[in-house]
Chains A and B, each alone.
Chain A
Amino acid sequence: MAEAVRVGDVVSQVRRVGADALLVEFSDPAWVTALDAEVRSRWGAAAERAAAVHVGDIVPAARTLLLDRIGLGGLHDSGAGAGLDGHVVLAPDDLLRLIRELSSWVLSPLQDRAGAMVDVPVVFDGPDLDAVARMWDMTAPEVVATVVQCEFQVAFCGFSPGFAYLSGLPEGRAVPRRSSPRTRVPVNAFGLAGEYAGVYPRSSPGGWQLLGTAVGVQLWDETRETPALLAPGTPVRVVEHDGAST
Chain B
Amino acid sequence: MSPGLEVLDAGTLTTVQDQGRPGFAHLGVPRAGALDAPAAALANRLVGNVPDAAVLETTATGCALRATGPMLVAVTGAPCRVFVGPVLGGMAPAPFASPVRLATGQTLELGAPVGGMRSYLAVRGGIAFDPVLGSRSTDTLSGLGPPPLAVGELVPVGASAPVTDREFAALRDEARRERTEPGRANSHGDAPPEQGSLVLSIRLGPREDWFTADAREALTSMPYTVSADSNRVGLRLTGTPLDRAVEGEIPSEGMVLGAVQVPPSGEPVVFLADHPTTGGYPVVGVVDASGIAAAAQARPGDTVRFAVIAD
Whole-angstrom CA separation of A77 from B273 in the bound complex: 17
A205 an interface residue at 8 Å Cβ cutoff? no
B126 an interface residue at 8 Å Cβ cutoff? no
Given the interface contacts A81-B34, A159-B28, A160-B142, does A66 sit within 8 Å of B256 by beta carbon?
yes
- B252 touching A158, Cβ below 8 Å: yes
Whole-angstrom CA separation of A68 from B288 in the bound complex: 14
With a CB–CB cut-off of 8 A, which chain B residues contact A165? 252
Interface size on A, residues (CB 8 A): 48
Interface SS of chain B: loop
Interface SS of chain A: loop
Given the interface contacts A59-B277, A82-B258, A161-B142, does A69 sit within 8 Å of B22 by beta carbon?
yes
Smallest CB-CB separation from B201: which chain A residue?
A: A19
A55 CB → nearest B CB, Å: 10
B132 an interface residue at 8 Å Cβ cutoff? yes
Q: Which of A98-106, A124-132, A209-217, A226-234 is found at the contact surface with chain B?
A: A226-234
User: Which residues in chain B, 1-54, are within 8 Å of chain A measured between CB atoms?
Assistant: 19-29, 31, 33-34, 37-38, 40-41, 51-52
- B37 touching A83, Cβ below 8 Å: yes
User: Which residues in chain B, 210-246, are within 8 Å of chain A measured between CB atoms?
Assistant: none
Whole-angstrom CA separation of A203 from B202 in the bound complex: 36
Q: Which of B71-79, B105-113, B190-198, B289-297 is found at the contact surface with chain A?
A: B289-297
Contact partner, B28, options A15, A77, A162, Cβ 8 Å: A162
A4 an interface residue at 8 Å Cβ cutoff? no
B277 CB → nearest A CB, Å: 5
B301 an interface residue at 8 Å Cβ cutoff? no
Whole-angstrom CA separation of A158 from B277 in the bound complex: 6
With a CB–CB cut-off of 8 A, which chain A residues contact B34? 81
Whole-angstrom CA separation of A85 from B257 in the bound complex: 16
With a CB–CB cut-off of 8 A, which chain A residues contact B21? 79
Whole-angstrom CA separation of A19 from B286 in the bound complex: 8
Whole-angstrom CA separation of A228 from B286 in the bound complex: 29
Whole-angstrom CA separation of A222 from B252 in the bound complex: 24
B93 an interface residue at 8 Å Cβ cutoff? no
Smallest CB-CB separation from A45: which chain B residue?
A: B23
- B133 touching A222, Cβ below 8 Å: yes
Against A, the Cβ 8 Å flags (1 = close, 0 = not) of B261-292 are 00000000000010011100001001111101
- A83 touching B289, Cβ below 8 Å: yes
Contact partner, B19, options A19, A80, A228, Cβ 8 Å: A80
With a CB–CB cut-off of 8 A, which chain B residues contact A43? none
- B20 touching A81, Cβ below 8 Å: yes
A64 an interface residue at 8 Å Cβ cutoff? yes
User: Which residues in chain B, 160-182, are within 8 Å of chain A measured between CB atoms?
Assistant: none
- A231 touching B27, Cβ below 8 Å: yes
B144 an interface residue at 8 Å Cβ cutoff? yes
- A81 touching B133, Cβ below 8 Å: no
Whole-angstrom CA separation of A81 from B278 in the bound complex: 19
With a CB–CB cut-off of 8 A, which chain B residues contact A85? 185
Given the interface contacts A89-B311, A161-B29, does A56 sit within 8 Å of B252 by beta carbon?
no
Contact partner, A21, options B132, B134, B256, B288, Cβ 8 Å: B256
Smallest CB-CB separation from A29: which chain B residue?
A: B251
Whole-angstrom CA separation of A161 from B258 in the bound complex: 20
Whole-angstrom CA separation of A228 from B27 in the bound complex: 7
B253 an interface residue at 8 Å Cβ cutoff? yes
- A18 touching B258, Cβ below 8 Å: yes
B205 an interface residue at 8 Å Cβ cutoff? yes
Whole-angstrom CA separation of A79 from B293 in the bound complex: 17
- A227 touching B27, Cβ below 8 Å: yes
- B144 touching A222, Cβ below 8 Å: yes
A143 an interface residue at 8 Å Cβ cutoff? no
B206 an interface residue at 8 Å Cβ cutoff? yes
Residues of B bordering A, CB below 8 Å: 19-29, 31, 33-34, 37-38, 40-41, 51-52, 132-134, 142, 144, 185, 203, 205-207, 251-259, 273, 276-278, 283, 286-290, 292-293, 311
Residues of A bordering B, CB below 8 Å: 15-19, 21, 23, 36, 45, 56-66, 68-69, 77, 79-85, 87, 89, 91-92, 156-163, 165, 222, 227-228, 231-232
18 contacts between A and B (CB under 8 A): A17-B205, A17-B259, A18-B256, A18-B259, A59-B277, A59-B278, A61-B252, A64-B251, A65-B254, A79-B52, A80-B37, A81-B34, A92-B311, A162-B27, A163-B28, A222-B132, A222-B144, A231-B26
